[in-house]
Amino acid sequence: MSLMEYNGGSVVAMVGKDCVAIASDLRLGNQALGISSNFQKIFPITDRIYLGLPGLATDVTTLRERFRFRVNMYTIKEEREIEPETFAHLVSSTLYEHRFGPYFVEPVMAGLSKTPSGSVKPFIAATDLIGCLNFAKDFVVAGTASAKLYGVAEGLWEPDLEAEDLFETISQTLLNAVDRDAYSGWGCVVHVITKDKVVTRTLKGRMD
C-alpha cells in the first residue's frame, strides 16, 4: 500500500486564453472506505493563485497551514502579494527540505502572473513529492486518477480556450477521469481564475 493512495483524491490544472482553471474531487477516504464527501484539497493562496494538494490527507492539512503562514508573512513584510513563479519555488524548496522523509503530496498550482505591460499571463505548475518543478504550457495533473486525467485531458484540451470553454473542458476532464478511479470522486470543485474575478463552482458527481 502506498501512502500516496491511502486517502485518494486528484487535482488538475489547465491553461486558457488569459485565464487558468484548477479543479479537484472532494473525496476523503480510508483506503476503500469513504469518510467525507467535502474534503477540500484546493486552497486560495492569494486572490490570483490557487494551490491543489492531492495526497496523504494529514500532509495536505499540514502543508496548507504552513504555506498560509509563509505567504502571510511574505505579504505583510513585502507589502505586496506573492507572484505565482515565486510561490512555485516556495513550494518546491519547502518540499525539498524534507528530501529524506517527504510530505506525501504532489502539489499543483494555477495562477495569473503580472506582465510589465500590465496584462496577465497564465501560469500553471506541478511538483513531485520532493519538489521537482514541472512548468507545463497546457495542463498538469496529479493524484490517484492522474493516469486517467492525462488521457482525457490529452483528448479534450486545446489552446486559447475562453474562460467558459475552459470551465467546460476541465470539468468534463475531471468528472470522466475520476469515474474510472475508485479512490477519487464524490463531487468536484472547479476554480476558473480570470483577470478580474475567480469563479468557483461545485459539481455533482457519481456517489459510488
Partner 1 sequence: MARRYDSRTTIFSPEGRLYQIEYAMEAISHAGTVLGVLAKDGVVLAAEKKVTGKLLDLSSAKDGGYGGSGEKIYLLNSNVIGGVAGLTADANSLINFARTAAQRHLLTYNEDIPVELLAQRLCDMKQGYTQFGGLRPFGVSLLYAGYDPHYHFQLYHSDPSGNYSGWKATCIGANNGTAQSLLKQEYKDDIEVKDAIGLVLRTMSKTMDSTTLGSEKLEFAVLTLDEVTKQPKAKIYKPAEINALLLAEGLMKKDEDTEMKAA
Partner 2 sequence: METSFAITGKGYVIVAADTTSARSIVKMKIDEDKIKTLSPHLLMAYSGEPGDTIQFAEYVERNIRLYQIRNLYPLRPSAAASWIRRALAESLRSRKPYSVNLLLGGYDTASHDPHLYWIDYLGTMTAVPFAAHGYGSYFALSLLDRYHNPEATLEEGLATLKRCIDEVAKRLVVSPGKYKVKVVDQDGIREVEL
Q: How buried is 46 (Cβ within 10 angstroms: 0-12 exposed, 13-18 middle, 19+ buried)?
A: middle
Nearer to partner 1, 40 or 134 (CB): 40
Binding interface with partner 1 (CB under 8 A): 65-66, 68-69, 72-73, 75-80
- Spatial contact of 143 and 106, defined as CB atoms under 8 Å apart: yes
**Chosen residue from 13, 56, 174, 190 binding partner 2 by CB under 8 A:** 56
Q: Any contact of residue 57 with partner 2 (CB under 8 A)?
A: yes
**Chosen residue from 7, 144, 146, 184 binding partner 2 by CB under 8 A:** 7
| Alpha-helical runs (H) found in 33-159 | 57-78, 84-96, 146-156
What character string, x for contact with partner 2 (CB under 8 A) and - otherwise, covers 88-117? -------------x----------------
**DSSP for residue 111:** E
CA distance 186 to 175: 10
Q: Minimum distance from CB of 7 to partner 2 (Å)?
A: 7
Q: Which of 173, 197, 106 lies closest to 143, judged by CA?
A: 106
Q: Any contact of residue 58 with partner 2 (CB under 8 A)?
A: yes
Q: The C-alpha cell of 142 is what?
A: 496529479
**Chosen residue from 36, 119, 200, 202 binding partner 2 by CB under 8 A:** 36
CA distance 184 to 8: 6
Residue 200 near which of partner 1, partner 2, none (CB within 5-8 Å, type-dependent): none
**Cross-sheet strand order for the sheet of 10-15:** 139-143, 10-15, 20-25, 188-193, 198-203
Nearer to partner 2, 101 or 159 (CB): 101
Q: Minimum distance from CB of 178 to partner 2 (Å)?
A: 18
Residues that bind partner 2 (CB under 8 A): 6-7, 28, 30, 33-36, 38-39, 56-59, 61-62, 65, 101
